[in-house]
A and B are shown apart, each in its own frame.
Chain A
Amino acid sequence: MTLATVKNSRLGATTLLTFVILALAWFVGFASRLFAIVRFESIIHEFDPWFNYRATHHMVQHGFYNFLNWFDERAWYPLGRIVGGTVYPGLMVTSGLIHWILDSLNFHVHIREICVFLAPTFSGLTAIATYFLTKELWSPGAGLFAACFIAISPGYTSRSVAGSYDNEGIAIFALQFTYFLWVKSLKTGSIMWAALCALSYFYMVSAWGGYVFIINLIPLHALALIIMGRYSSRLFVSYTSFYCLATILSMQVPFVGFQPVRTSEHMPAFGIFGLLQIVALMHYARNRITRQQFMTLFVGGLTVLGGLAVVVYFALVWGGYVAPFSGRFYSLWDTGYAKIHIPIIASVSEHQPTTWVSFFFDLHITAAVFPVGLWYCIKKVNDERVFIILYAVSAVYFAGVMVRLMLTLTPAVCVLAGIGFSYTFERYLKDEEKNGSGAGSKDEKMYDKAAKNAKSKTTTTEGEENGVSVNVRTVIAVLLLIFLLMFVVHATYVTSNAYSHPSVVLQSSTQNGDRIIMDDFREAYHWLRENTADDARIMSWWDYGYQIAGMANRTTLVDNNTWNNSHIALVGKAMSSNESAAYEIMTELDVDYILVIFGGVIGYSGDDINKFLWMVRIAQGEHPKDIREDNYFSASGEYTTGAAASETMLNCLMYKMSYYRFGETRVGYNQAGGFDRTRGYVIGKKDITLEYIEEAYTTENWLVRIYKRKKLPNRPSLKNADVTIPIKGKKSQQAKKQEGSNPTSRHCHQSLIYFFAAKKFAEMGFSTNKDCMPEFQLLITGLKQIVQIVDNSDQQFLKGGEMKNIKILESKNNNLCILVDNSGKFSYVGEFSEEIQKKKEDIGEVIETCGGIAIPGFVDGHSHPVFAGDRVHEFAMKLAGASYMDVQNAGGGIMFTTTRTREAKEEDLKRDFEKIAWKMLKNGTTTLEAKSGYGLDIETELKMLRVLSNISPQIPLEISATFCGAHAIPKGSTEIQQTRMICDELLPKIEHEKMAGNLGNVENIDVFCEKGVFEVATSREILQRGKEAGLAVNFHAEELVYIGGVEMGAKLGPNGARPVDKKKAFLILYLCPMESYMTLLPKL
C-alpha cells in the first residue's frame, strides 16, 4: 500500500532492493537445505522419493509416452502396477524437462543430481510466488517478509531438503503460484489471469494430490464473497473461466481422469459454478423487473433449484455416477474414522494429529505473529483478503488434524506473519537512524534489508512523535529484530537437526563426539542386488517396498503406494503367523527372500517390531479368523517382546526373524545376552530355531536382516552304501589282540554305524569264557555324536511335537564313548575320561570309531519275514484300483504266498529269512517283531515258528516271534473250522514246544480281525486261548472295514503290539491307557 506513494525516483532503488532480497531469499533457502548433502552425500532420502526417482529415471531412459504406459512388474507381485496411470507425473516431468534442457545446453548432469536438488531449487520459486501473493494481498514490504519466511520456515523445509525428492517439493510452489494468479484474476477480473491460474492449477494437479485443497478453497472463497454481498462481475468472470478451464485441464492427467466430474470432492466447485450463474442472473434481472417479481422468481426459484440440486446429487451418488467422499476425506472431518475403518491410513505417523509442540517447532515466532496478520486482514478486509482468511482458518484446522498438512498451513502462516511484521515495522521504523543490528549471517542481513526497505518506503510519510516516544520505538524495533533473528537461528537449528536426515543412512555419535555412519540399509540392498536372482521376490513390510525396488532393483510384494489393502494384509498375516502358516502364505506368493528391519542392537526405534502391531491390526482387518490382536499382548495387556510376551508373539515369524540368534549377542559389557536396546529389556525367548527359512544376510549393525525361504526337502535320504556291520565274534578278538599288542595305536573301524542288540550280545559275545569274564563287555570310543532320543531316566520315549527335539550328544573332538556292562546295559554314555581309561583292563571289547555316530536301533513292529514266493505281480492289480480283498478273491494275496510257503523246505525258508534279516540289520533295525501266518495249517505254521526261533546266532537281530495262524482262512476251510484248528490243535502244540524249550522267542499271538475273515467273536476266542498259552495279544484290526475289533482287543487288556489300523485314529483313545502301541498304515 505504501508502494503506491513511492515516488518515481525511488522506484529504481526499490526494484533493485526487491530483486536482491528475493535473490538472497532464494539463495538462503537453497543453501539451508543442503545440510543433508554436506553431512552425508548426494543421496535420495526416505521412501517415496526412491519411487519418484526410479520413475523419473525410467522416464528419462524410455521417454515420456513409454513412461505413461509403463507397467511395472517389479511392484505388487504378482499383480504389478500401472505406474503411468497411478502417479502424479508433474514431478518426473519437471525433472525430466530440466534434464533435457541442461542436456541440450551440453551441460550433462546425472538425473539423480537433478532429483536431489530439485526441491531446494523450487523453494526459491516458492518464495517468489509467496512474494507476489502477499504483494497482491497487502503490500510489497509484507511480500518480502513473507518470501523470506517461507524460504527458511521449518514447516516447509521439512518436505523440501535436498534429496527429499517428493511431490510436495514442487507442489507448494504450484499452490502458492495458483493462489497468486487467482487473487490477481479476481482483482482484475481478466480472463487472461484466470486462464493462467487454470494453467498453474493444471501443473499443481499433475504434481500433487493436494490439489483438492485448491479446488475446494477457491469455490469456498467465491461462496464467501457471494454471502458477504461482495459479488462482482470480476468474480463471475474469473471463477467461471477458471473453473471451466481448470476442470478440463485437470482431466488430462491420467491419474485424475474423470474424477473432477465424478467424485464428491469436486462437486462443491461445480455447485458454486451453478450458484454463480444464478447470482449473476439475479444481478442482471434486479434492475429490470419489479421487486415483487424478483422475490417470487428468486426466493421461490432458488429454493426449488437448491432442493433439486441436492436431490440430483444424492441420486447420482446412489446411482453410482458420482463417487461418494473417500475415506481419506472423511478422516479429516470425523477424526475417529480412520482408526476404525482404514487402519492403513491411521498407521502412518504423518497422519496422526498434531501436538502444539509440532506447531511451535515448525513455525516458532511466526505462529505467534500470524494471528496478528489475520486480525488486520479481517479489520481491513477486502475481496482478496477474504481468501487468505479462509485459507488460514481452514489450513489451521487441517494441520491440527494431520501432521502432514502442516505443509499447507506454513505458506498461509508465512504470508500472514509477513503482513503482521510489515504492519508493525511500517509504524515503528519511521524517522529513525538506521538500526545497528550487527551484520551476522546472511539471513540476518536479509532481514535487515527487509526492514530497511520497509523503512525506506515509510520515511516519506509524515512522522509523528506525539504518541509513542522515539526511545520506545527504537526498543520495539530492535526487539522485533531480535525475534526475527531468533527465528532464523531456530529455523537453521531445526533444519539441521531434525529435517536433514536421509533416513537411508543413519548417524550416531560416540562419546568423544565422533560421528558414526551406519549404512546398513544400502549394505543390505546392495547385497540383494548382487547376490540374488534377478527375478527374486522380496517380502518386506510395505514401508521398504520403494527402497527395495529403487536400490536393490528386485521385485517386491507390497510397497509404499498402499493401494491394495488385502495384499498388504496378506503380508501382515505372514509376518504375524507362526512359521508353518507363514510358509504357506509365502509359498503361495512365491516369496524368495524376506527382509526385516531390526533396531534392537543399535537402539533404532523405527524398526519392524515397533511397527508390528499395525501389521497385526491390518492383517486382522482382513483375516479376523486367523489373526487376533489380543493374542499378541501379554497377560497384563501390554505389547511386549520381553519375558511376559505371549506365546503367539514368541512364535510369530516377525519375532523369530528379528531375534534369531539375538540371544547369543551381548550389546553391552554388563548386559545379559539378548538385551534389546530399543525396547530396553531382555527378549522373551532366546533359543529360536528356524525350520522353513534360513538366515541369508544380516548387516553390520543388524539393522536389516534378510532370510531366505527354504525349498521343502524332497524326503529324508539315507546313505545305504556306507552302512556296514562288523561281525562281532571275529572283530572282538581282533580288537582284543590289537589292544594287547599295541595299546597306543588306535585302530579305526571304517564303518559308520555299529549295531548291537544287548540281549544277543550277552548270549554270544563272551559266554564262552565265563570265568575270566571282564566287568564290561564293550566300550565304543571316538564317537562324534550319540543320538540319545531322551536324556532323563524318567522318560522312555518321545511323542507328538516332542519328536522334533531328540536329544543328541555331540563332541567336536570325537571324544564321546559308550560303555556297556555285562548285563547288556549301558553303564556310561558321555565324554571319554581318565576313569574309563583306567577301566580298560576290565573291558571285553573296545571299538574305536574315529568320529562315528551312535544311534539307537530301529524297532520294526510288524513284519512277516518268513515266506516263499513274491507277489510283485499283484501291484498291477492294486494300481488299477483293486482292493486287498479283490486281489485275494482272484487267488492272489495271502493265499498265493500260503501255497508257496507250504511247498517250501525249512532250510530254504531259513536261508531266505537270514538274507532278509541281514538286510534289515543293515538298514538299522535291531529289534524285529516277526509273524508266522503263511502256513495256516499245523505243520507249516510250526515250521515257520521254528525258522524264526532258530535264526543263526551270527545275526545280532532281536526277534520277538508272533504266532499268526489266524492270518487268513485257507481254501477249503471256514472261519469256525480254522478257529477250532488253532485253538484246539495248534496252540496246545506251541504250548508244548515252548515247555520243551523250543520256540524260545515265540512270545505273541496275532489275529487278522476283519469282516469276512475272523469276526470279533472268533478273534476274541483265539486271542483268549493264546493268552492262556502265555502269549501276548497282538492283532490286526480295522484294516479294511471297521467292525469294532480294537474295542474288543482293548477289553482283553493286551500289552503287545497291535498294528494295522488305518484312518480311525480316534480308536487310539481305547488303547492309550494300556501301554500299547499302534502302527497306523497308510492305505495302499
Chain B
Amino acid sequence: MEVKICLLVAVFGIFSISAQVQTIEEKVQGLADLTARSPIVKFNLDKWKTYVRSQPRNYSMVVMFTALSSSVNCPICRPAYEEFLIAANSHRYTSSESDKKKVYFGIVDYEDAPQIFQQMNLNTAPILYHFGAKLGAKKKPEQMDFQRQGFDADAIGKFVTDQTEVHIRILRPPNYTAPVVIILLAGLVLGLLYLKRNSLDFLFNRTTWGVVCLAITFIFMSGQMWNHIRGPPFMISNPNTKEASFIHGSTQFQLVAETYIVAALYCVITVGFICINEAADVSNNDKNKQNKSKGLFAQFNLHPNTLAIIGLVAICVFFSFLLSVFRSKYRGYPYSFLFS
C-alpha cells in the first residue's frame, strides 16, 4: 500500500515538474542528477529550455555548441570537445562543492537539437557560450573567442574564471603517448643493438656521428627552431598573381620552404669543401700507393682533379646563391658573388 502511494506521489511529482516552471532547488537537483554520471550535461530542447533559458537560476552554464557526428564535417569539433571535457572533468573533481553548484558544463550537439542552433542563430561550430546566472531568456550570452584564446582546457578554465570567478584547476589526464613512444624507440634501438651485438662497429663509425652532428648543425642554422616556435606557412602565394613565393622578403620572418633551401645550400657548400679536401687527401694517398679507401668519395672512383673541381664549383655557385637569397631578404646589402 505504501509503495503505491509513493509511486503515485512520484508520478504526480513528475507531472508537476514538467507542467510548471521549476524552482531553483528543483533545477539544481536535476542538474546534480544529470552531472552525476558525466560531467557534461547533454542538452535537448526540453532540458535546454528548463535549465538554461529560463529564470530563476543561481548558477552559470558554460555550453559548447558543436557538431560531433561524422555526418557533419567538422574536424576541429572533436579536439575542442575533448579539451572541453577535460575542463569539465577538472571542475568535477577539483572544485569545491559550492563552486560546483555555481557552474555547470553543457553541450549542444547539432544532431540532437538543431532547433537550439536555430534559436541561437548559429551556423558555425564549435562555439562556447557562458550563460551567466542572471542572464535573461533572450539575452546574448558571453562568447569565448577561440580565435584568440585557443580552445585548450587551460584557456577554457581561464574563460570560466574570468566570467564566473570560479577557479578551475585543470587536471589533464596524463598523456602517455610521449613516454610510450620514447620507451618503444629506446626498446627498438636497444633491440637492434642487441641483435647486432656482434658488429657494433657502426657505433664507432665516425662518419655516422659526423653526419648526425652536421645534420643538427644545418637544422638549427637554417632556423628550424624558429619555425617550430613561430609556425610559419610553408610558402605563400601572392593573392593577385597566384604566384607562389618560397622566400619571404623580410629579415624578421621566414617561410618553411626557404629554410629548407638554406639548409640544403649550407649542406652543399660544406660537402663541396669536404670534396676539395678529399681530393687532396686522395691524391696524397695515391702517392703512397696504399689505396686506403679512407675518403668519403673514394668509392666513386673519381679523379681527384674532377672531385676538386666539382667541390669548387659547388662552393662558388651555391655560396653565391646563398648570398643572393640573403640579399633578397636583407634589402640594401651591397655585396654579391657570381650572380646577384
Question: Which residues of A pack against B, CB within 8 Å?
Answer: 335-336, 353-361, 365, 367-372, 374-376, 378-379, 381, 389, 392-393, 396-397, 399-401, 420, 423-424, 427-428, 464, 466-469, 472-473, 475-476, 479, 482-483, 486, 489-490, 493, 624, 628, 630, 633, 637
- Within 262-282 of B, Cβ neighbours of A (below 8 Å) are at 262, 265-266, 269-270, 273-274, 276-277, 279-282
Task: Please tell me which one of the listed residues A356, A365, A486 contacts residue B254 in the complex, with CB atoms under 8 A apart.
Answer: A356
Most interface-central of A357, A372, A381, A401 (chain B CB within 10 A): A357
B329 proximity list for chain A (CB < 8 A): 357
Is B312's CB under 8 angstroms from A475's CB?
A: yes
B246 proximity list for chain A (CB < 8 A): none
Q: A355-B251, A357-B330 are in contact. Are A396 and B322 (CB under 8 A)?
A: no
Please choose the segment from B120-128, B130-138, B219-227 that sits at the chain A interface, where 4 or more of its residues have CB less than 8 A away. Answer: B219-227
Q: A356-B254, A475-B312 are in contact. Are A464 and B283 (CB under 8 A)?
A: yes
Q: A369-B273, A479-B316, A630-B145 are in contact. Are A374 and B281 (CB under 8 A)?
A: no
Task: Please tell me which one of the listed residues B162, B214, B259, B282 contacts residue A356 in the complex, with CB atoms under 8 A apart.
Answer: B259
Task: Please tell me which one of the listed residues B214, B225, B258, B315 contacts residue A353 in the complex, with CB atoms under 8 A apart.
Answer: B225
Task: Please tell me which one of the listed residues B207, B274, B284, B330 contacts residue A372 in the complex, with CB atoms under 8 A apart.
Answer: B274
Contact with A along B296-340 (1 / 0, CB 8 A): 000000001100110010011001001000100110011101000
Main SS at interface, chain B: helix
Task: Please tell me which one of the listed residues B162, B210, B266, B330 contacts residue A368 in the complex, with CB atoms under 8 A apart.
Answer: B266
Is B308's CB under 8 angstroms from A493's CB?
A: no
Can you list 27 pairs linking A and B with CB atoms under 8 Å apart?
Answer: A353-B225, A356-B226, A360-B262, A361-B251, A361-B326, A368-B273, A369-B273, A372-B270, A372-B273, A378-B209, A378-B210, A378-B213, A379-B207, A389-B213, A397-B225, A420-B273, A427-B284, A464-B287, A466-B283, A468-B308, A476-B276, A479-B312, A482-B337, A493-B333, A624-B162, A630-B148, A633-B148
A630 proximity list for chain B (CB < 8 A): 145, 148
Is A374's CB under 8 angstroms from B214's CB?
A: yes
Expressed in whole angstroms, the minimum distance between the Cβ of A879 and any Cβ of chain B is 43
Closest to B154 in A: A340
Task: Please tell me which one of the listed residues B213, B251, B258, B305 contacts residue A467 in the complex, with CB atoms under 8 A apart.
Answer: B305
Q: How far is the CA of A633 from the CA of B149 in the complex (A)?
A: 13
Task: Please tell me which one of the listed residues B218, B223, B252 contacts residue A371 in the complex, with CB atoms under 8 A apart.
Answer: B218
Q: How far is the CA of A374 from the CA of B286 in the complex (A)?
A: 25
Q: How far is the CA of A628 from the CA of B206 in the complex (A)?
A: 56
Main SS at interface, chain A: helix
Q: How far is the CA of A384 from the CA of B308 in the complex (A)?
A: 30
A355 proximity list for chain B (CB < 8 A): 223, 226, 251-254
Expressed in whole angstroms, the minimum distance between the Cβ of B268 and any Cβ of chain A is 9
Q: How far is the CA of A427 from the CA of B274 in the complex (A)?
A: 12
Closest 8 CB pairs of A and B: A467-B283, A427-B280, A467-B304, A400-B220, A400-B225, A356-B223, A378-B210, A368-B269
Q: Is B244 an interface residue (CB 8 A)?
A: no
Q: A355-B251, A397-B220, A464-B284 are in contact. Are A360 and B213 (CB under 8 A)?
A: no
B147 proximity list for chain A (CB < 8 A): 637
Is B280's CB under 8 angstroms from A467's CB?
A: yes
Most interface-central of A400, A420, A428 (chain B CB within 10 A): A400
Q: How far is the CA of A673 from the CA of B170 in the complex (A)?
A: 50
B330 proximity list for chain A (CB < 8 A): 357, 361
Expressed in whole angstroms, the minimum distance between the Cβ of B101 and any Cβ of chain A is 23
Q: How far is the CA of A354 from the CA of B276 in the complex (A)?
A: 31
Closest to A369 in B: B273
Is A486's CB under 8 angstroms from B274's CB?
A: no
Expressed in whole angstroms, the minimum distance between the Cβ of B248 and any Cβ of chain A is 10
B223 proximity list for chain A (CB < 8 A): 353-357, 359, 400
Apart from A356-B222, A368-B269, A400-B226, what 17 extra A-B contacts exist at CB < 8 Å? A335-B228, A335-B229, A356-B262, A367-B221, A374-B210, A374-B214, A393-B213, A396-B216, A423-B277, A467-B279, A467-B287, A467-B305, A476-B308, A483-B315, A490-B335, A493-B333, A493-B334
Expressed in whole angstroms, the minimum distance between the Cβ of B328 and any Cβ of chain A is 11
Is B217's CB under 8 angstroms from A424's CB?
A: no
A372 proximity list for chain B (CB < 8 A): 270, 273-274, 277
Is A371's CB under 8 angstroms from B270's CB?
A: yes
B217 proximity list for chain A (CB < 8 A): 370-371, 374, 392-393, 396
Is A368's CB under 8 angstroms from B319's CB?
A: yes
- Within 49-64 of B, Cβ neighbours of A (below 8 Å) are at none
Is A353's CB under 8 angstroms from B230's CB?
A: yes
Contact with A along B32-68 (1 / 0, CB 8 A): 0000000000000000000000000000000000000
A428 proximity list for chain B (CB < 8 A): 276, 280
Q: How far is the CA of A381 from the CA of B210 in the complex (A)?
A: 10
Q: How far is the CA of A311 from the CA of B219 in the complex (A)?
A: 36
A624 proximity list for chain B (CB < 8 A): 162
Expressed in whole angstroms, the minimum distance between the Cβ of B294 and any Cβ of chain A is 9
Is A469's CB under 8 angstroms from B305's CB?
A: yes
Q: A397-B220, A630-B145 are in contact. Are A424 and B273 (CB under 8 A)?
A: yes
